[in-house]
Structure 1
């Protein structure tokens, strides 16, 4: 099957609820997107709000507090809000890479594999049925002389020593207490939590969810999204291969990729919308799913304007499914900078800016284009 990139991008916009016109709940959006990056909670909330016909600022927070969505360190070591079933699957796969057992990780963060295993056991006991702040959790851990020397790293806001515990299902973020981060066990937060499945059982769940939003894609792009290619290539390719007829291979302008077979006919029949205009926020999944290195989505010459220092991902202007610029808010002004200096259709851009305003609870913006 041969496809064009314009077809693929139009289909992705619809699958990811970027194209407006439906009313849908927060959990359904989070599930379809395979999670939303939540390093910055406001960005995660904006990603959800922009995908609803009538945006509701702050709608993600009650779902996190109620346990219908869980926040934890997941893809690429970053915080994500995830539907529980997919969270269990991706954590299983990420944990199977055993990155904390690699010498470079041990040298950087100062904990041995045996100490990480002991921390998993200790944290599982400390967080059993309770919610603790970071300080309360660390204080409980370092009271054990075996963990005393790890106190500084455990208290780090980057959470490097806590991530392997999350990847093994020992902890997740609990409901926020003002500006304080809290932790609990997934079994305490999530009703019916069944723990992490075996990686071979988890792989079909994660791969089909990913392809349902970001397909067509390759095993390599899936692993880049999941673990920054930390998994063995042979293992990831086997997972794809074992899906058999669930997947269909397609050709997109010479790039061989996979799509879910159930979506193949729909994709082939997709009529491109090459002039649609959308504004998406910082760290949006539309770019994080395929990755900023995908030059069909984001021209290599402009990658540094989207993927910036310290891991910051800029808010993006999307025209016809391709990333065509960035934007920012200053007071009552929304300023758009296009990559090629072109002017997007004024009416469409104003509608996109009004949608952003509604999503953050603002009365409206004056739009400027550079």
Structure 2
């Protein structure tokens, strides 16, 4: 990194407008069939959090012109252009298949935050962990397996010790080997396969799209740039939060980027928020040269759980994204966000009943006539993506946030 150049000062509005545009929330990605554009949207999001499948489908669908949830599923299960696997923080994400060498190279090199938290009678040694990851990779080479089938295959290959029921989980006990399940995902040898009825299956992503992980430094540079394009301007501390990585390590990753990054200041209530960083060729450096902030009307969006734009993990300072009442009502829970002109201005909930979608929106600001019309259009768009018939109620959201 270098700070020899003059440090531009950006308004919060400039940052929000640029992130809207970069993520396809301003103008959705278009020009090809929706399913073909799904990986484009996922790339722009630096991966899509997929703990809740319907939320991931909605977040991607809102960013692709004309897309429905079926287009996301087609990209995942037919085109195999995105992969459902363990991503940042070891949580379930969609990642673009074409970028798996970089994601695996980067995520597998992130140092852990702390030593193994399991007691001595539960934890695995480093050699046992490697044996389990090798067994997972080999077990999934030829077929998609349910968790029970995978467990039997891992125990057969690694040894009886791998199947010891020693891990407390959801009021039951899991076999020892499952400590390494997410690590196998980060290493690129385990991903989610299509459900078999109601049962989740797992697969080896190399079966359909063989790849070699990129060298860690090159991979981390690629993932850092993807993160900054989606979340920036940002800091090593927020990058570390996003990856669940040690802060000193993240500082080193930023430093190794060298002149590829430039610092900026983001104004919050007229004051600088401290230095943050962007790729040196980012469009915001052109915007910063203009005296007047952008006046683009960003409109109203109904963003799902864990959406890249407004999810609090690794994201912008809360003062920028959650002003006023939103800090208390929305930030402290995990709600679906009503976003008005780039900032969180309320929350919403959807309940499905067959083909009907009962949408409740709780604004925390007074919507203008134009914003109210935008909200109606956005509710219709949610209906298209989720393939249902929506009806809108404006009033309090009475359900709690997502766990």
- Change in Cα spacing, 1:198 to 1:300, as seen in structure 2 (3 Å) is farther
Superposed CA deviations along residues 176-230 of structure 1, whole A, max 9, x for unmatched, are 323221112221132x411x23322211110111111211111111221122xx2
Distance 1:161 1:130 in 2: 20
- C-alpha deviation, 1:351, in angstroms: 1.3
Structure with the largest fraction of strand: 2
Superposed CA deviations along residues 51-78 of structure 1, whole A, max 9, x for unmatched, are 1221322211122224211111111221
Q: Does the 8 Å contact 2:116/2:123 carry over to 1?
A: no
Q: Of residues 174, 183, 196 in structure 1, which corresponds to 2:193?
A: 174
1:67-78 matches, within 5 Å, as 67-78=80-91
Distance 1:179 1:285 in 2: 28
- Change in Cα spacing, 1:187 to 1:317, as seen in structure 2 (3 Å) is same
Distance 1:134 1:290 in 2: 31
Superposed CA deviations along residues 141-194 of structure 1, whole A, max 9, x for unmatched, are 2333131215867958xx65411221222312123323221112221132x411
Length, aligned pairs only: 359
- Change in Cα spacing, 1:257 to 1:98, as seen in structure 2 (3 Å) is closer
* Structure 2 counterpart of 1:7: 14
Deviates further, 78-87 or 262-271:
262-271
Deviates further, 117-126 or 360-369:
360-369
1:135-174 matches, within 5 Å, as 135-143=148-156, 144-150=159-165, 155=174, 160-174=179-193
* Structure 2 counterpart of 1:208: 225
Does residue 334 (structure 1) correspond to residue 395 (structure 2)? The answer is no
1:202-281 matches, within 5 Å, as 202-227=219-244, 230-231=245-246, 233-253=247-267, 254=272, 255-263=274-282, 264-268=284-288, 269=290, 271-273=294-296, 276-281=299-304
* Structure 1 counterpart of 2:205: 186
Give structure 2 stretches of 5+ with no counterpart.
1-7, 32-36, 397-403
The TM-score, its normalising length taken from structure 2, stands at 0.80
Structure with the largest fraction of helix: 1
The TM-score, its normalising length taken from structure 1, stands at 0.87
Give structure 1 stretches of 5+ with no counterpart.
none
Distance 2:76 2:165 in 1: 29
What is the root-mean-square deviation of aligned Cα atoms in Å? 2.8
- Change in Cα spacing, 1:256 to 1:167, as seen in structure 2 (3 Å) is same
1:37-186 matches, within 5 Å, as 37-65=49-77, 66-99=79-112, 102-105=115-118, 110-143=123-156, 144-150=159-165, 155=174, 160-186=179-205
Q: Does the 8 Å contact 2:318/2:327 carry over to 1?
A: no
